[in-house]
Structure 1
C-alpha cells in the first residue's frame, strides 16, 4: 500500500513537471477521479498541440492531429483480467470519438500470466495500456502504438524520484570550461601560439565541457531517491546510502540553511536527511507516509 502511494506521487510529479510530454501536453490533473464505479488516483487530460514558439504553434495548428489525450493511472495490491476489462470498457464509454486513452496500472503482487496476456492482446488502437508489478519488477504493455509509447515513457517498476538540478549542472560545466580557457591562455602566453583563444576553439571547448560536465554531474551531484515499504536508497552522485524504516525512531521536516526542504530521519544518536526540494516529491504526503512506516516498524 505504501509503495503504491509513493508510485502515485511519482507519476503526479512527472505529469506536473512535463516529464511525460512525449505522450502529450497534459494540462489538467485530477486526483481520485471517478470512472463509472472505479476511483482512479490520477487522471490527466491534454493534447498533442505545441505551446512553444510561434513557428511551433503554426506547425501544430496545421499538421498535428487534434486528438484529446486521456491518461489514467490506477494502483491496487492486485489487478485481474476481469477488472481490466471493466476498466477499459468504462474508459471507452466515457471518452468517445477519436480520443486517445493511456492507462497505467501498478500492482504490488507479481503479474498473473492471464493479466499479462490480456494487456498484450488489447486490440483497440486508441487504447494503450502498461502494467507493472512492484514485487517482481515485471511489466507488460499492449503491442499497439499507444501501448509501446506509454511503456517507453512511464517505467514504473519502482518508486524512483530524481530531478535535474541546474545549479549543480552549471557548476559541473564551468569546471572543465574554465580550466580549458586557462590552459589556452597559458599556451598563448608561454607557448607563443598566436590565436589559441578564438571563437572556434572556445566553441569546441564548450562542447567538450558539456560532455565532461555531464559526467561530473552524474557522478558527483545527481540525486535519486528510491522508496518502498521497507526502506530507501539515496544516491548522491556515486555515494549510496541505504536504510530501513525500522532503523529510525522519528521524522521531522527540516529546512537547510540554503532554504531547501528535507525529511530528517532520527536514529540512535544520528540523523539522515532525505532531500525533497531536489526530487520534487510532495512534502506533506511523503512526511505522512514515511512517519506511518516508521511508527509501524518501531
Structure 2
C-alpha cells in the first residue's frame, strides 16, 4: 500500500505548493475526510475567488462565479464501476448541487474496461473524475470540462520538493555585492571621481539582489524529485540520478550544520537526501523511502 500512500503525499505536496491553483484556490486540506460512509484519504476545499492583489480581488468579486470547489482523492487496489458510482454519489449527497467536485482515483493495478467506460461516460457536468493506474501509468478522465481540467493539472508521475535556502542566497548576494563594489573601486582608481556614493551603493545592492538570485538558482538551489523507481537531486544546474535498487538501507543523519538528511547506504557510496533544504518531513519521508528500498531489496 505504500505506493498509494506515496501518491497521496504527492497530491498533498502539489496542493501545498499551489500547483493546482489553475483549478481553484484551495485553502483547506483535510486527511482521512469522512463523506457518508466513505473515508477519503485526502480532501481539499477551495473556491474560484482570487486571494492575491487588491485589483484581482475586485475583479474576482464581480466577475468570477462563487462556486465552492472540492477535491477528493481516493485510493484502491482496483476500482470497479460500482465503487466509482458510490464515491460520486457520496460526494453529490454531501455537497451542494452547484458545487464543483474534482474526484481523483488512484489504483495500484491496471484498469478494467468497465471501469474506464464508467469514468469516461460520467454524465454530471459538475463532477470531474480522473483515475490513475500506478501499474500501467495510464490515466483516464471523464469527458467533461472538469475531468479534462483535473487530468491536465494533477501530476502523479513524480513528486518534486524544493524550498528557498536563505543562507545560500545570502552567500550568493554577498559574492555578487563584493564583485560590484570591486568594480566601483576599479572605476575610482581609473580616474572617475565620486563614483562611490550612497546612490551607487544602493544601485549595487539592487543589482546584487537580482544577480545574486540568479547565482543562487544556478549554483546552490536544491531540488529533490522522487518517484517509485528512484530519485534525482538538482544542486543548481547539476543533476544526479539514482535508483532505489542501488541502496540497502536508510538512516536519519544530522550534518555538522544541523541540517537533517536521509542517508542512503550503498556499496558504491552513501547518498544524503537533503530533507531540511527542500522542506520535507523527516518522519513521513523516512517511512516511505524505507519501504521503497525494502521493495527493491526483496525483489533482488
Alpha carbons 1:132, 1:157 under 8 Å: kept = no
| Residue matched to 2:108 | 108
Alpha-carbon shift at residue 50 of structure 1 (Å):
1.6
| Residue matched to 2:117 | 117
Alpha carbons 2:80, 2:115 under 8 Å: kept = yes
1:72 aligns with 2:80: no
| Residue matched to 2:248 | 248
| Residue matched to 1:137 | 137
Normalised by the size of structure 2, how large is the TM-score?
Answer: 0.77
The change in CA–CA distance for 1:176 and 1:127 in structure 2 (over 3 A counts) is farther
Distance in 2, Cα, partners of 1:292 & 1:161? 19
| Residue matched to 2:197 | none
| Residue matched to 1:277 | 276
Distance in 2, Cα, partners of 1:263 & 1:156? 23
Alignment of 1:47-66 (within 5 A): 47-66=47-66
> RMSD value over aligned CA atoms?
3.8
Give the stretch that moved more between structures: 117-126 or 83-92. Answer: 117-126
Distance in 2, Cα, partners of 1:149 & 1:182? 52
The C-alpha deviation readout for 1:236-263, integer Å capped at 9, x for no partner, is: 25432313257313x2222334443321
* Aligned partner of residue 143 in structure 2, secondary structure: coil
Distance in 1, Cα, partners of 2:25 & 2:146? 15
Distance in 2, Cα, partners of 1:274 & 1:135? 26
Alpha carbons 1:75, 1:106 under 8 Å: kept = yes
| Residue matched to 1:234 | 232
Gaps of 5+ in 1: 191-201
Alpha carbons 1:13, 1:280 under 8 Å: kept = no
Alpha carbons 2:20, 2:153 under 8 Å: kept = yes
Alignment of 1:24-103 (within 5 A): 24-103=24-103
The change in CA–CA distance for 1:151 and 1:177 in structure 2 (over 3 A counts) is farther
Alignment of 1:117-196 (within 5 A): 117-158=117-158, 160-163=159-162, 165=164
Which structure has more relative contact order (CA 8 Å, sep 6+)? It is 1
The C-alpha deviation readout for 1:263-298, integer Å capped at 9, x for no partner, is: 112345842111223444332111123334545636
| Residue matched to 2:2 | 2
Gaps of 5+ in 2: 191-203
The change in CA–CA distance for 1:16 and 1:181 in structure 2 (over 3 A counts) is same
* Aligned partner of residue 96 in structure 1, secondary structure: coil
The change in CA–CA distance for 1:169 and 1:97 in structure 2 (over 3 A counts) is farther
* Aligned partner of residue 270 in structure 2, secondary structure: strand
The change in CA–CA distance for 1:14 and 1:169 in structure 2 (over 3 A counts) is farther
* Aligned partner of residue 277 in structure 1, secondary structure: helix
Distance in 2, Cα, partners of 1:100 & 1:125? 9
Give the stretch that moved more between structures: 164-173 or 95-104. Answer: 164-173
Give the number of equivalent residue pairs: 292
The C-alpha deviation readout for 1:73-92, integer Å capped at 9, x for no partner, is: 11122112221111111111
The C-alpha deviation readout for 1:102-127, integer Å capped at 9, x for no partner, is: 11111111222332232222121111
